[in-house]
Structures are given as structure tokens and as C-alpha cells.
Amino acid sequence: MKYRNVIAVLVGAWLTFAVSASALGVFKNDSDALALPVAAAALAPILVFLLWFGTSARFREFLYSLSPRTLTMAHSWRVEGVVFLILSAYGLLPGLFALPAGLGDMAIGITAPWVASKFANSEHKSGFILWQILGIVDLVTAVTLGTTARLIDQSGPGMGPMTVLPLSLVPTFIVPLLLMFHVVSIAQARRWPGRSYSQLGEQATSAAR
């Protein structure tokens, strides 16, 4: 319970900071320059999380106790990646970023409920981990393209909308948080017992009858 309360306070403070800083224009970037404040706001909580996760056994045990189904279901919101596609269609975001980021998010969001209900168990350990890895790849790809799209195509629209509310919360809060969920889910799954060859053989025999 102690960690649950501490984490709730930290996440609440993090969200408050992200909203407040965005409202004050700290992350706003309409130029072609790299959005360093956004990058710092996104990377700082990830680094703190990884350091805490790597050095505190009690913190890891708390995270292992969380429901992998709930952590996976949280990714359902990513169907809203369609917003990137809409903004790109109106020339407000570069297609180089919006297409892969939007389609990738939608794919993860649409499949999240199915993965949460069917794959969050030791019998589907490999498939569950693979989906989590694909989710991470989608996030990393979106961040990479969001950072470099304007540098690659200077004649197209910039990433300005992603640096002001409400979209600024995506790189400064939502993406880092969901990345943490992926990491925790993979760590949980790696602790699940794998099925033995004898169990697989028995299931195959039963299925053949």
C-alpha cells in the first residue's frame, strides 16, 4: 500500500507539472529547432523509473504484483492515434510522423483488449512479450520521427501542435507512462513459468483425439 500511495502522488505531481508547463508555453516550439524541453520532460521520468526499478527490489516486487491485464488494457486509448492522421490530412502535422505513429498506435490500441484477455498468462508468454515489444517499437518510432520529421522535410508542416495543450501531454506524460507499462509487463512475463515439452505434448495429443 505504501508504494501505491507514493506512486499515485508522484504520477499526480508529474501530470500536474506537464499540464502546468504546457499551459505556460514551456514546451511550445514553432521553429525548426529540436524541442529540447519536450525531450527533457519525456526522458527524465523514464530515467528515474529505470533507476528505481533497477536498484530497489521492493519496488520491483510491487510492480510485479500489478495486474498485467490492467497494464495492457491501458494501451487501448492509443486508438486515438487517429487524431494524428486527421491533423496530417489537414496539413497540421507531417505525414512522415503522423502515418506510422497514428497507424501504429491504432494497431496497438485495437488489439490491447484482446491481448489483455487472451495473452496475459503463462500459456501465451512469448506472444504477450512480443506484443509488448511491438508497442515499445511503436512508441520509439513515433518519438524518433517526431523529433526528426521537420529536419528531414523542412518544406512540410512542423510538429508545433505536439508542443502545446492538449497534444503536448502525449510526449511529456502519456508516452513515457505507457513505455513504463510495457517494461513492467515484460518484466512480469519473464517471471512466468514456461510450459514444459511434456505439457505441450499432452496438449497436442489431446487435440489430435
- Tens digits of residue pLDDT in 61-98: 999 999 999 999 999 999 999 999 999 999 999 999 99
pLDDT at position 32 is: 59
pLDDT at position 3 is: 85
Global confidence as pTM: 0.90
Nearest CA to 172 out of 40, 25, 65 is that of 40
The confidence band for 1, taking pLDDT boundaries of 50, 70 and 90, is: low
pLDDT at position 153 is: 79
Half-sphere exposure of 174 (CA within 13 A, CB side): 20
pLDDT at position 35 is: 72
Residue 206 or 31, more confident: 31
pLDDT at position 195 is: 57
pLDDT at position 33 is: 63
- Tens digits of residue pLDDT in 16-60: 999 999 999 999 987 656 678 888 999 999 999 999 999 999 999
Per the prediction, the chain carries an average pLDDT of 90
Kindly list the distances between the CA atom of residue 66 and the CA atoms of 3, 188, 189, in Å, as whole numbers in the listed order. 11, 9, 12
- What CA–CA distance (Å, rounded) separates 181 from 207? 35
Nearest CA to 78 out of 107, 98, 99, 114 is that of 107
